[in-house]
Amino acid sequence: MKHPIRNQEIRKAKASVPNWLIAERLGIHENSFYRLLRQELPKEKKEEILRIIEDLKLDLEV
């Protein structure tokens, strides 16, 4: 049985942004970020993470 892929928006948006960088900006350990994505996140948390990803993408382009 296939498991549903949760938080697809985040997984798609992060593309090549390393998980450890996202976790660092959230103030949590990388492993905690992985665990966070196991459950579908509330809209507010998703928006926070998506903003962080966009900021990191801008930083990484420099």
Number of domains in the chain: 1
Give the model's pLDDT for residue 28: 98
Give the model's pLDDT for residue 12: 95
Domain-embedded: residue 39: yes
Q: Which amino acid is at 15?
A: A
pTM flag (> 0.85): yes
Domain-embedded: residue 34: yes
Domain-embedded: residue 16: yes
Does the pLDDT value for residue 62 go beyond 70?
no
| pLDDT per position as a tens digit, 9-57 | 999 999 999 999 999 999 999 999 999 999 999 999 999 999 999 999 9
Q: In degrees to the nearest 10, what's the CA dihedral of 41, 42, 48, 53?
A: 30
Domain-embedded: residue 1: no
What confidence tier does 3 reach under pLDDT thresholds 50, 70, 90? confident
What residues make up the domain containing 17?
A: 8-61
